[in-house]
Amino acid sequence: MKVFEIKDLRFTYQKNRIKAVDGISFSIHEGEIFGLLGPSGAGKSTTQKILTRLLKAYEGEILYYGKDLKSYTNTFYEDIGVGFELPVHFSKLTAMENMIFFQQLYKQKSDIVSLLKQVGLYEDKDRLVGEFSKGMKMRLNFVRAMLNNPKILFLDEVTNGLDPKNARIIKDMIRTFKENGGTVLLSTHLMNDVEELCDRVAFISDGKIKEISTPRALKLKHGKRILDVEYYDNTHTKHKTFELTNIGDNQAFLDLLKNYNIETIHSGETSLDEIFIKVTGDKIHE
Ligand SMILES: Nc1ncnc2c1ncn2[C@@H]1O[C@H](COP(=O)(O)OP(=O)(O)O)[C@@H](O)[C@H]1O
Ligand SMILES: [Mg+2]
């Protein structure tokens, strides 16, 4: 089942005439975590804002569960949760007051206390958000996205700037959300997140999709079909490279395995970082 079907989407910011999205087409399937990857300025946030109906003056077609997105009323917002790139909170209210405020906008309500506990903010629930560290704000931002128990989560760089422990908490919650049947559109420039979370990804650059596939297929496509073996020959560590095709019939490889102390074996699939740079050009303006 397709949650979103996006056909030849285009968007130009009128004030500076920047073509932020320049003819992209893709679908998001129910129950998947779809990653929108690309350097800063690629058009990821703009795409998210269009799909969450914050930007309306787009060209092309967006179907949400088979029907034009424009034909939905504001009940659409009951279905979705949005984690904005920059946390939006009232700094003079406490964490709890913020969550209660945002939650009353929805009919469907999830358990705020349980969410705050999951992100490790329960103890801080009565502190002013203005006193929160960036990591705390980002975690609260995630709770905010979950307040209406959404079916679809839009997450824009939600782990950006989080330390590994806090990033882990958020990533685990995203995975749990998916395991419970949720669908996620995640944009990021952090390949670690992608590796751990995404079922499919689209690499975008200059408002266009350069590649769209599974992380695994991309790694195979851009990698080399080779095997690199490090072995110890009684005095030194050495390495040899073999073609992966018909490796089982390669006598030199079999002899090496039999006669030497093998230290490591690696196949030549490339990392997503390398694919990112190759596919989107070397424009990383972070
Ligand atoms: N509110 C805005 N007004 C004008 N131009 C914008 C605005 N937001 C983004 N842009 C421009 O649109 C392009 C895409 O930006 P954005 O969608 O934010 O990219 P990303 O999220 O991939 O970093 C960039 O060139 C950016 O400068
Ligand atoms: Mg962005």
Question: In the 3-class helix/strand/coil scheme, how is 183-197 assigned residue by residue?
Answer: EEEEEECCHHHHHHH
Measured in degrees and rounded to the nearest 5, phi and psi for residue 78 equal -70, -25
**For residue 83, pLDDT beyond 50:** yes
19 assigned to some structural domain: yes
Task: Please state the rounded mean pLDDT for residues 130-137.
Answer: 93
CA–centroid distance, residue 17 to ligand 2 (Å):
18
DSSP at 29: E
CA–centroid distance, residue 68 to ligand 1 (Å):
25
277 assigned to some structural domain: no
Nearest residue (CA) to ligand 1, atom 3: 13
Q: What is the structure's pLDDT at 270?
A: 83
285 assigned to some structural domain: no
Residues 193 and 255 both lie in one domain: no
> pLDDT > 90: what percent of the chain?
80
Residues 44 and 177 both lie in one domain: yes
278 assigned to some structural domain: no
Mutation test residue for ligand 1: of 45, 54, 276, the one with most atoms within 8 Å of CB = 45
Task: Please state the rounded mean pLDDT for residues 128-137.
Answer: 94
Average pLDDT of the residues of the chain: 93
CA–centroid distance, residue 194 to ligand 1 (Å):
22
Mutation test residue for ligand 1: of 46, 47, 185, the one with most atoms within 8 Å of CB = 46
Residues 31 and 62 both lie in one domain: yes
Mutation test residue for ligand 1: of 9, 12, 13, the one with most atoms within 8 Å of CB = 13
Residues 213 and 230 both lie in one domain: no
**For residue 187, pLDDT beyond 70:** yes
**For residue 164, pLDDT beyond 80:** yes
213 assigned to some structural domain: yes
CA–centroid distance, residue 45 to ligand 1 (Å):
7
Residue 262: give the domain boundaries.
Answer: 224-268
Residues 230 and 176 both lie in one domain: no
Q: What is the structure's pLDDT at 97?
A: 98
Q: Helix, strand or coil for residue 176?
A: helix
Of 162, 191, 219, the last residue of a domain is 219
Task: Please state the rounded mean pLDDT for residues 237-252.
Answer: 94
Provide residues with CB under 6 Å of ligand 1. 13, 15-16, 18, 20, 38, 40-46
Joined tokens for residue 263: 């230290």
Residues 110 and 25 both lie in one domain: yes
Question: What is the H or E stretch that residue 200 is in?
Answer: strand 200-205
Of 186, 219, 252, the last residue of a domain is 219
Residues 141 and 154 both lie in one domain: yes
Mutation test residue for ligand 1: of 10, 12, 14, 18, the one with most atoms within 8 Å of CB = 18
Residues 215 and 256 both lie in one domain: no
Say which CATH number the domain at 190 has.
3.40.50.300
pLDDT band at 283 (very low <50, low <70, confident <90, very high): low
CA–centroid distance, residue 116 to ligand 2 (Å):
26
Nearest residue (CA) to ligand 1, atom 27: 41
Atom of ligand 1 nearest to the CA of 42: 22
Task: Please state the rounded mean pLDDT for residues 222-242.
Answer: 92
Nearest residue (CA) to ligand 1, atom 11: 20
Residues 61 and 172 both lie in one domain: yes
pLDDT band at 18 (very low <50, low <70, confident <90, very high): very high
Task: Please state the rounded mean pLDDT for residues 211-233.
Answer: 91
**For residue 258, pLDDT beyond 90:** yes
Report how far residue 257's alpha carbon sits from residue 35's, in angstroms, rounded to the nearest whole number. 39
Residues 53 and 114 both lie in one domain: yes
**For residue 10, pLDDT beyond 70:** yes
pLDDT band at 286 (very low <50, low <70, confident <90, very high): very low
Atom of ligand 1 nearest to the CA of 43: 17
Alpha helices by DSSP H, 180-231: 191-197, 215-222
- Lowest mean pLDDT segment, chosen from 66-70, 74-78, 218-222, 282-286: 282-286
**For residue 139, pLDDT beyond 90:** yes
User: Which position has the token pair 């073509």?
Assistant: 19
User: Which position has the token pair 């079922």?
Assistant: 199
CA–centroid distance, residue 184 to ligand 1 (Å):
21
Task: Please state the rounded mean pLDDT for residues 210-215.
Answer: 94
Question: What is the H or E stretch that residue 118 is in?
Answer: helix 112-118
The total domain count for the chain is 2
Task: Please state the rounded mean pLDDT for residues 180-208.
Answer: 93
Task: Please state the rounded mean pLDDT for residues 120-139.
Answer: 95
Q: What is the structure's pLDDT at 279?
A: 87
Residues 67 and 116 both lie in one domain: yes
CA–centroid distance, residue 42 to ligand 2 (Å):
8
Tell me the per-residue pLDDT of 165-178, one tens digit each, with 9 for 90 and over. Answer: 999 999 999 999 99
**For residue 125, pLDDT beyond 60:** yes
Q: What is the structure's pLDDT at 282?
A: 59
284 assigned to some structural domain: no
